[in-house]
Amino acid sequence: MTERRVVLVTGSTDGIGRATARALAAGGMKVILHGRTKLKVDAAVAALSQELPGAELDGVSFDLGSQAAVRRGAEQILARAPALHVLVNNAGIYADERVVTEDGAELTFAVNYLAAFLLTELLAPRLEASATAAPSRVINLSSVAHTRGRIHIDDLTLSSAWTGYAAYAMSKLATAMHAISLADKRAPAVLVAYAVHPGVIQTKLLRQGFGPIAGATVEVGARSVVRLAGEEIVTAPSGSYFNDGVQGQPAPAARDAAMRAALWDASLRLTGL
């Protein structure tokens, strides 16, 4: 029997992450669900186990707003997953007030980007070691909002320019840049990286950040990630950006090599790597 490929989906107790986890488990992958609280993770694993008899599911819980918690979470994952083939950095928030975390980072940037950067770096050796039949993958959930973002490299906490939207757009621009930088830094034979705008999807984040806007279902939002994570042979070049299922180019700001380098260096410093 072929060994199941293993995927970790952050923020998968509800929304697009839950739909992604469900579809990948239904497709035969072993899925590690992640959420902020053990209660929610256990409930999601139990519900999906009932829906999908025979699915191989596990769960981890840690707060992406705390770098110490992310490090502990990575240790849990490495201890429980001898192989890891896909990391889906799906978790995201939209804040309605400016909060600075215990690590000195603005909360939206910390959860949506820095946690994904740190988790990816901590898990990258396991991902690369697992790339025996095909490259492992890192898939970042970005947003079309990245096109209106700006990396305030000298003020990443947005102390003088904070709005909920500015923080969200900057974090999503950073996630798009992260995928391109990973593509530059990692051998595509062992690790490929993508950024995905899932479309306008009816989620808690959409309601919180953008009001009563009609959106597509979470199943529709999960489609691109499910395809990229689930396909056995990589078809899209590393660093590709997908907008609502269509491969294209992210905003010019995301492709700015000098700013990507500055952001990478700042990210290493801010995460203590």
Residues assigned a catalytic role: 168
Interior/surface letters 17-43, b for 16+ CB within 10 angstroms, e for the rest: bbbbbbbbbbeebbbbbbbbeeebbee
Rounded Cα distance between 29 and 7, Å, is 7
Using H for helix, E for strand and C for coil, what is the string for 143-206?
CHHHHHCCCCCCCCCCCCCCCHHHHHHHHHHHHHHHHHHHHHHCCCCCEEEEEEECCCECCHHH
Provide φ and ψ at 24, rounded to 5°.
-70, -40
Residue with tokens 């009932």: 50
Rounded Cα distance between 201 and 100, Å, is 28
Provide φ and ψ at 31, rounded to 5°.
-115, 130
243 contacts 47 by C-beta, under 8 angstroms: no
Rounded Cα distance between 112 and 144, Å, is 14
Of the candidates 234, 246, 245, 247, the one whose C-alpha atom is nearest the C-alpha of residue 186 is 234
How many Cα atoms are found within 13 Å in the side-chain-facing hemisphere of 223?
Answer: 14
CB burial of residue 137 (10 Å; 0-12, 13-18, 19+) = buried
Rounded Cα distance between 271 and 269, Å, is 6
Structure tokens at 170: 């900057």
